[in-house]
Structure 1
């Protein structure tokens, strides 16, 4: 079965782009998944239909000043026509990821913002199904989900270093796990919809 997953993101300095690539790589691990990786500045009238045709959209933004970037917010407002068009993205699978310089950096607020945006479009949000790491005496920075997030994938990158130094490998594996989970859930969701019986037609008068 074929399914289409779009990973749509904004990255100011390249760190969130690296995270987005890991999300896409995880989704591609699921057989039948076709993945489109789209940077918001590259979104054109020709690429909007890719989002419309996707079975799942995974949103990504850096966390700036406690929330999503202005570029991502511009995209959110640009979707209003699709919202007004009878919730065109209704029942698509959705998920999200974010990166910031601080360990916390209020990244949860950004993920909440992304989830509420998806909910307003009638989408179905999928979180990260992974135990938190780095929270015991034997835990390390190499643990998957080391930042302990379930609403989406979080990553941390040092403010004074470029994307060649961050996010760290465990944060990228966490992003990969999110992409894989979204593709798996989307596959089950799509199969379920295809198995639904056709609605009964009213009897002829």
Structure 2
């Protein structure tokens, strides 16, 4: 059996999403799957092929003004013709991640937009499963925003906190684990 391929399609503004994407890829690799990073800002034909051939697509964008950044939204809009109408991503696994400066920072609305986008494509959504502190004190720093629809990390001028870095790796592991089950 071959390892599943997880494409991590992202747009990064200040760099936090690119950092999170790399950490998600580390988690995917540590779970025995293949990870391919796809920066959607200048998507070429080989990038589209990577997305079409992947077993799962994890989508990442910063939260700007309560929603996906325009660089990622442009990518979403590009899929509206043949990819959406021909159902090319139907039954492909999907997940999403976002970053914002504040703990909540309206990141949930961005994850909802990514979720609806995946549902419109007929994809199967994978959320976050980590329960953070204070409910689970041993998970101090993990899933800081308490968001379960996807991965929501905090970004500041110093980069991602250690907990957000580890949350990114854990999310990559989760998607890889489920992709292995889904592609048996």
Q: TM-score, normalised by structure 1?
A: 0.84
Distance (whole Å) between structure 2 residues aligned to residue 46 and residue 22 of structure 1: 23
The answer on 1:117 being equivalent to 2:103 is no
How do residues 34-49 of structure 1 correspond to structure 2 at under 5 angstroms? Answer: 34-49=34-49
Number of residue pairs aligned between Structure 1 and Structure 2: 182
Distance (whole Å) between structure 2 residues aligned to residue 130 and residue 140 of structure 1: 11
3-state secondary structure, aligned to 2:25: helix
Structure-2 residue corresponding to 1:170 = 163
Q: Structure 2: which 5+ residue stretches go unaligned?
A: none
3-state secondary structure, aligned to 1:18: helix
Structure exhibiting the larger radius of gyration computed from Cα positions: 1
Write out per-residue CA displacement over residues 55-96 of structure 1, whole angstroms, 9 at most, x where no aligned residue: 0000000000000000111000001120011x1100000000
Q: CA deviation at 1:132?
A: 2.5
Please give the root-mean-square deviation of Cα atoms over the aligned residues, in Å.
Answer: 1.6
Q: CA deviation at 1:140?
A: 9.1
The structure 1 segments of at least 4 consecutive aligned residues displaced by more than 2 Å after TM superposition are 138-143
Q: Does the C-alpha gap of structure 1 residues 141 and 104 become closer, same or farther in structure 2, counting only changes over 3 Å?
A: farther
Q: CA deviation at 1:166?
A: 1.3
3-state secondary structure, aligned to 1:46: helix
Distance (whole Å) between structure 2 residues aligned to residue 25 and residue 176 of structure 1: 6
Distance (whole Å) between structure 1 residues aligned to residue 73 and residue 34 of structure 2: 26
Q: Structure 1: which 5+ residue stretches go unaligned?
A: 192-205
Out of 142, 151, 155, the residue aligned to residue 157 of structure 1 is 155
Structure-2 residue corresponding to 1:79 = 79
Structure-1 residue corresponding to 2:69 = 69
Distance (whole Å) between structure 2 residues aligned to residue 181 and residue 140 of structure 1: 19
CA contact (8 A) 1:126 1:182 kept: yes
The answer on 1:102 being equivalent to 2:95 is no
CA contact (8 A) 1:142 1:169 kept: no
Distance (whole Å) between structure 2 residues aligned to residue 40 and residue 142 of structure 1: 33
3-state secondary structure, aligned to 1:178: helix
Structure with more helix by fraction: 2
Q: TM-score, normalised by structure 2?
A: 0.94
The answer on 1:60 being equivalent to 2:60 is yes
